[in-house]
Structure 1
Amino acid sequence: MKWFSSVLFVLFPAFLIGQTKNSIQILGNINGKIPETIEYTLPIGGIDYFGFTDSVQPDSSGNFQINLKVNQTCFIDLSYKYKSFGTLIVDPGMTYKVHINTEDSKNQFIVESKNAKGQLLYNQIPNRSMIVGGHFELESRKYSKDSVPSVIKQKLEASRTNELQSFKDLLKEKIISKDFYRLVETDRDYFYKGAQGSFAFINYLNESQNKNTLNKTQYTELWSAIFKSNPVTNPELLKSPWFYFYTENYLRYNELILDNINTTFLSELNKKGLIHTHNIENAKKHLSGSQLEYYFAAYIYYEAINNNYEQELIKLFEEFKKEYPSSSYTHFLEPVIIPIISFHKKKEEPLNEKVKFVENTSEINSVKDLVKKLNGKPFYIDVWATWCGPCKEEFKDNPKLYELLKSKNITMVYISIDKEGKDKQWRDMAHFYNLEGYHIRANKKLDDDLRNIFGSQSLAIPWHFLVDENGTVLNKKLSGGSEIQNLEKQLTENK
């Protein structure tokens, strides 16, 4: 490979290698397309949370350097826009040479260090963190047809044991340190216990539809057991990327099982815009100290980046700052709260006259009905929803999209598949993102027609397609504004 050439030792001279006992150094090189920045999780008190990051800008050759004060073994994830390149397990006083290949998924992340085998092994774990596509629920789905709690626990324990065995071998060979092994062991323990809790939670939710494989006694026992063996109060859990999600599962257990809170009650709180306040109040009942501060901050961040712009989060942010005036987490929360403040200020401004809501939509039950209502024109249709993050990401490229459509004499139409309860949120978002064109929120029949056109009941959005003046679909899969050159080619072919 290119990056293993001797030139690397010129790029990373020997005088940079020396480290103090309470610091680490990461010397990086990128092969392929160089991202604008390399984001890395900041191990405040040893924690690892995907939202609490700093960044460094690579030079024109793809080289970068990160120096951090670290007094304990911890995880550091390197990423760009929530896409992980890889995870380092760092021991204080060490230097790591990291090679990132943005064009080779099989060899995307390679680490040179005395514990390189341990680094490679950990990065081969498919569920090492949420941003690499792992989650408790994904793991628990593997056992969805199992109905014997002891069998479920045995399978989860077997997966955990098999995963850790290779690390035990590396520890025995003194390739990784005891602290390195203990960190991985705690992380894997809590991941598989979290998957067990997720399986119990899914059974709880499925019970109302008689789709549960475990009865209430079984799933309750399965759920409660994990918090006895693996309590959220374990300070080592804070270092795991799974702390937030494991604690979330613990709070659900307390609320739904021990406190017997009805899900209908929670749904009503959500409609009233009070669910986040309720969730934090519940956290305060069961958490304290550093666990509560971390969870409170992580909760605000996680909910804010969904870009649903709930005003309630602004209030919780102010509450967090008051309760933790010197918190290291505040710095990470401010950038995700500012857009929410801007969203609510925008609502007070006049609506752009080019943002047009279609009225009297009760009889618009198909795309052809919609075209007829709008007097028959060629339409570029964007199917989206207020809860869809990728949909909102596409809106950043709308100026280029509108210019292209205008040149082709094609009219823009946005169809939202939000439910009726989200009507106000839908209108507010169209206003906030300045979505020029016609807007309609699909009723049940129009929603069914869209899924029929798409060819599946599982509708993947954002979805863009082209219809002519009669409502006939000319191209049912178009690019969005983020791929403007490809879209222009598609529209030219469909002229």
Structure 2
Amino acid sequence: MKRQLYLFFLVCCPVWLFAQEPVITFSAAGGAGQQLRVLPPVQGEFFMGNLSERRLDSSGTAVFPNTEKVPGAYYFFYKRCYTLYVKPGKSYSLTVNAADTVNPVAVTGPDAEGQLELNNVSAEFYQQRGMRYYAEDSVFAHNAKRVRADQAAQLQRFTNLFREKKTDRAFLQHAEKLTAGYYASVLGATLLRPTMAVQADKKKPGFQQAAVQQLVAAWQSLRGVCNMMDRSNAGSMEFFYFVNMYNTNYLGYLLPSASGTFTKAATSDERDLFLGKVIRQHYRGPVKEYLLASWLGDLLTYNQFQAFIPGEYRAFAAMYPGSRFIAPMQKGVQRVVAYHDKIKAGFTDDHRFVEEQPASFRALAAAFPGKTVYIDLWATWCTPCKAQFAYNRDLKALLKKQGVEAVYISIDRLQDEPRWKEMIKYYDLQGYHLRASEALMKDLRDIFGEKNKTLYIPRYAILKNSELVVSSAKQPSDLKGLEEQLNELKTAP
């Protein structure tokens, strides 16, 4: 009888009771309905072009199947960046709670203590840390010694976890490479201000040859912290940041300036093609493939729809037909093609431009007497701004129902004006539009700026009767919250 019951259980019981599929769970306290950006690896390597968005459910949770075939790092962007080193066939959970000042991050799954330490490595943004070090001591040799000491102390913590058998060797090796990329970035960040301050152009009066030579030697020394020619370092975002900084400031600016060959980009396309040219000139072999793909993937992520992208993508696919990055870029390239098809059409009557540039925010508000106005501060380079345009249809319906005008204020530079106008058509941004002048930008920073009057976007505000009544309005993706704000204004005196 027992044997019969056992056989019945084997036949009828769902398979998941025996082998549940491995999953990766991200949870955020108080995060119900909030947006989460997730960046899985591509066959173990960091690739910005693989970025996607999810909305956390009513419990503040998002669950992803672990379909990885090789180990790699997942990055989650929710108010800050979090990382998980994921192995095939394993389940993980990462929970964040900003209100818990003792344990704001909790991880379950393999290498749990090591995972927490990974998140400690880059808790302070590398550029902020490096510039802080430079402000405290401007001597590069001193900062190099300090960074090396920081790196050694961090590596010791990972080594101790390995020796205590709380992590395995693969995890330790990933941690070592991530740490190298981060601290190389920190040290590189101490060179940013002196690199920009020195007269590096050989063709111009006052060329500071000795200072430039010292900076060249300093930049070259970063290879001793993290070798940018070694593709095995490509498993972490920290390596990606480091190489971009090195390519932009050293290979792309300082070296050509010192030889008298640097030319400043005259157009936005020249600026965006800049890193591709640097990579082709200075890199060879597998790392060149990775960096070219990363450059293209990064451009696709920001959805600026540069017209040259499809051609660059075809050239990359022809040069590296077996590349793992071809497929992840296809959808992005198709969006670029669709963009250029759509912008061929003209503006509609619903796309209205503020003809007379207001000299101040008050002057802009005065142009809408007796109206309630929903203001969207954005820019063509701002990815989160453009992500909110996915909710335009529902936003338009709400504003129409409430009798509210929409005003889109772009903070783009003059050279990006053509792209700004194209995106108005592509995203069908119905309402009033203007690109902020210098005078208006100063006002916007004074009114909406945070620390050091830094203006963070996207930013939303509401005017009523030419007065600013809500300086931090709900975004279009939080339509329910926005509707509540507008309803409250109806009853307000």
Q: Quickly name the TM-score band, shorter chain normalised.
A: 0.7 to 0.9
Where in structure 2 are the equivalents of 1:143-292 lying within 5 Å?
A: 143-145=133-135, 146-207=137-198, 215-228=211-224, 230-252=226-248, 253-260=250-257, 265-268=263-266, 270-271=267-268, 273-292=269-288
Shift of 1:486: 1.8
TM-score (norm 2): 0.80
Where in structure 2 are the equivalents of 1:367-386 lying within 5 Å?
A: 367-371=361-365, 373=367, 377-386=371-380
Alpha-carbon distance in 2 for matches of 1:124, 1:15: 36
For 1:47, the aligned partner's letter is E
Q: How many residues align?
A: 458
In the alignment, does 2:403 pair up with 1:413? Answer: no
Shift of 1:474: 2.8
Shift of 1:475: 2.8
SS of the aligned residue for 1:194 comes to: helix
Q: Which residue of 1 aligns with 2:441?
A: 447
Alpha-carbon distance in 2 for matches of 1:30, 1:459: 29
Instruction: Please give the per-residue CA displacement for 1:187-242, whole angstroms capped at 9, x wherever unaligned.
Output: 212321232123223321244699x9x95444332211122564322343133333
Alpha-carbon distance in 1 for matches of 2:382, 2:164: 48
Q: Which residue of 2 aligns with 1:404?
A: 398
Alpha-carbon distance in 2 for matches of 1:398, 1:373: 24
Q: Which residue of 1 aligns with 2:455?
A: 459
1:276 touches 1:313 (CA, 8 Å); kept in 2? no
Alpha-carbon distance in 2 for matches of 1:408, 1:152: 57
SS of the aligned residue for 2:138 comes to: coil
Q: CA 1:278–1:47 in structure 2 vs 1: closer, same or farther (change >3 Å)?
A: same
Shift of 1:147: 1.5
Alpha-carbon distance in 2 for matches of 1:372, 1:58: 39
Where in structure 2 are the equivalents of 1:2-41 lying within 5 Å?
A: 16=19, 26-28=22-24, 41=40
In the alignment, does 2:488 pair up with 1:493? Answer: yes
Q: CA 1:262–1:199 in structure 2 vs 1: closer, same or farther (change >3 Å)?
A: farther
User: Which of these residues, 99, 107, 115, is aligned with residue 93 of structure 2?
Assistant: 99
Instruction: Please give the per-residue CA displacement for 1:111-170, whole angstroms capped at 9, x wherever unaligned.
Output: 333x4433343244334xxxxxx6531331221311122210121112111111122222
Q: Which residue of 1 aligns with 2:10?
A: none
1:89 touches 1:119 (CA, 8 Å); kept in 2? no
In the alignment, does 2:320 pair up with 1:321? Answer: no
Q: Which residue of 2 aligns with 1:49?
A: 47
User: Which of these residues, 310, 324, 330, is aligned with residue 326 of structure 2?
Assistant: 330
Where in structure 2 are the equivalents of 1:289-328 lying within 5 Å?
A: 289-328=285-324
1:85 touches 1:109 (CA, 8 Å); kept in 2? no
Q: Which residue of 1 aligns with 2:6?
A: none
For 1:392, the aligned partner's letter is K
For 2:256, the aligned partner's letter is D
Instruction: Please give the per-residue CA displacement for 1:351-386, whole angstroms capped at 9, x wherever unaligned.
Output: 221111122x25x21344335556763322222222
SS of the aligned residue for 2:346 comes to: coil
Q: CA 1:429–1:437 in structure 2 vs 1: closer, same or farther (change >3 Å)?
A: same
Alpha-carbon distance in 1 for matches of 2:239, 2:429: 38
Instruction: Please give the per-residue CA displacement for 1:65-111, whole angstroms capped at 9, x wherever unaligned.
Output: 424433xxx43316479976641254xxx753323446677465523
2:35 touches 2:78 (CA, 8 Å); kept in 1? no
2:474 touches 2:482 (CA, 8 Å); kept in 1? yes
SS of the aligned residue for 1:465 comes to: strand
Instruction: Please give the per-residue CA displacement for 1:311-353, whole angstroms capped at 9, x wherever unaligned.
Output: 1222211211121122110111112222222221111123221
Shift of 1:37: 10
Alpha-carbon distance in 1 for matches of 2:42, 2:399: 47
Shift of 1:42: 3.6
User: Which of these residues, 411, 425, 437, is aligned with residue 431 of structure 2?
Assistant: 437
Q: CA 1:482–1:62 in structure 2 vs 1: closer, same or farther (change >3 Å)?
A: closer
SS of the aligned residue for 1:310 comes to: coil
Alpha-carbon distance in 2 for matches of 1:29, 1:390: 23
Shift of 1:296: 0.7
Q: CA 1:156–1:307 in structure 2 vs 1: closer, same or farther (change >3 Å)?
A: same
Alpha-carbon distance in 1 for matches of 2:64, 2:151: 35
Q: Which residue of 2 aligns with 1:118?
A: 114
SS of the aligned residue for 1:239 comes to: coil
Instruction: Please give the per-residue CA displacement for 1:256-302, whole angstroms capped at 9, x wherever unaligned.
Output: 2333277972332x44x233434323211211221111111111011
TM-score (norm 1): 0.80
Instruction: Please give the per-residue CA displacement for 1:16-47, whole angstroms capped at 9, x wherever unaligned.
Output: 49xxxxxxx84545667699999663452x42
2:309 touches 2:333 (CA, 8 Å); kept in 1? yes
For 1:154, the aligned partner's letter is K
In the alignment, does 2:132 pair up with 1:142? Answer: yes
Alpha-carbon distance in 2 for matches of 1:281, 1:154: 33
In the alignment, does 2:72 pair up with 1:75? Answer: yes
Q: CA 1:438–1:276 in structure 2 vs 1: closer, same or farther (change >3 Å)?
A: closer
Alpha-carbon distance in 2 for matches of 1:38, 1:372: 38
For 1:429, the aligned partner's letter is M
Q: CA 1:461–1:246 in structure 2 vs 1: closer, same or farther (change >3 Å)?
A: closer
2:27 touches 2:62 (CA, 8 Å); kept in 1? yes
Give the root-mean-square deviation of aligned CA atoms. 3.9
Shift of 1:14: 9.1
1:475 touches 1:494 (CA, 8 Å); kept in 2? no
1:111 touches 1:119 (CA, 8 Å); kept in 2? no
2:182 touches 2:239 (CA, 8 Å); kept in 1? no
Unmatched tracts of structure 2, length 5 or more? 1-12, 201-205
SS of the aligned residue for 1:477 comes to: coil
Q: Which residue of 1 aligns with 2:335?
A: 339
Q: Which residue of 1 aligns with 2:422?
A: 428
Identity %: 23
Shift of 1:445: 2.3
